[in-house]
Amino acid sequence: MTTLYDPISLGKLELANRIAMAPLTRNRSPKAVPQAITAQYYAQRASAGLLITEATAISQQGQGYADVPGLYAPEQIAGWKRVTDAVHAAGGRIVTQLWHVGRVSHTSLQPGGGAPVAPSAITANTKTYIIDAEGKGGFVATSQPRALELAEIPGIVADYRRAARAAMEAGFDGVEVHAANGYLIDQFLRSGSNHRSDAYGGSIENRVRLLVEVMQAIVDEIGAERTAIRISPVTPANDAADPNPQPLFNYVVEQLARWPLAYIHVVEGQTGGARDYQQGDTPFDYTALRVAYAKAGGKAAWMLNNGYDGEMAETAVASGRADMVAFGKPFIANPDLVRRLREKAPLNPWDTTTFYGGGEKGYLDYPTLG
């Protein structure tokens, strides 16, 4: 019987166990550059089979929150190289999550103070995190976006390609495309945020077009075996909405089956909330989603996420429902989470007041066993 602690191969990656650290926004990268404490933070957690970094912007236009990292400037690549070196020295494996926030941004974060971009000029009913002129951080309403011109979309795809190449230069073992949680690719997928009438709007096939083009560009650049993706079929995060997600995401995974990807990362339910959350009239069938992927010839590892504890994760892997399980907030407070799960040891509680912004407190100072 396969266990959570057995090794697994993901594309070209050989992982020590089936526990992943989920991407977690921490807002500790001033000027979008990862710091020395970032390297220490990830190295502390290198016992995970796979570390997935906090979401990392592919361009300044893709930035949506203050002090989150990027992968579009030399100093950012150098900052991430310190991180990957530290993780590899600790025996870990690490991929970066490539991010364009789309409409989930603020004019103060955009080039020239311009409007954020989106599939359609529909403001997201959510908030973002900025730092004011006095250096004080806080959450504010997102700005009114503008709809991307058709001629601009190839440039977005090119930004993803360049960021994937930058990730390789920074020493990452691969990339995970962020197509979840109401950010740009997810905005194109969902009818609630995509009201376009051109080749990128209307039908499911059209709304999935940007995702397919981005994935193809990255696969062409760094290879499918180093490429992964994260999706969240029913989450309402960042005002994501679609009344009929099952056929939409079944089609998404059928398209993903064309490449031998490293893994597909599925957020079940409401990100950070109820696992049984649903959009539309019927509960989402995650088993049917995986069947659709396999039927289309998909071979990538299947990673599940959202509210798992050790027992749930062990059951999911033992049953074959998941090949890997990603843990989020428990990894913030427990650098040695793999050991604690294996030994059934109690977990440290996390401090939500230090999640976004700050220094070492709530970042580097959580105790380990012994």
> Please, which residues have CB within 8 angstroms of residue 170's CB and are 6 or more apart in sequence?
71, 77, 78, 80, 81, 83, 84, 96
Helix residue ranges, H only, 233-281: 245-256
What backbone phi and psi angles, to 5 degrees, belong to 290? -70, -35
The verdict on whether 183 is a catalytic residue reads yes
Q: What is the separation of C-alpha 244 from the centre of its chain, rounded to a whole number of angstroms?
A: 23
Please report where in the chains the tokens 């290879």 appear, as a residue.
223
How many residues are listed for the chain in this entry? Answer: 370
Contact 23/54 with Cβ under 8 angstroms? yes
Which H/E stretch holds residue 40?
Answer: helix 36-44
Beta bridge partners of 325: 19, 304
User: 130 φ, ψ to 5°?
Assistant: -130, 165
Which member of 42, 183, 200, 293 is catalytic? 183
Instruction: Show which residues are catalytic.
Output: 183
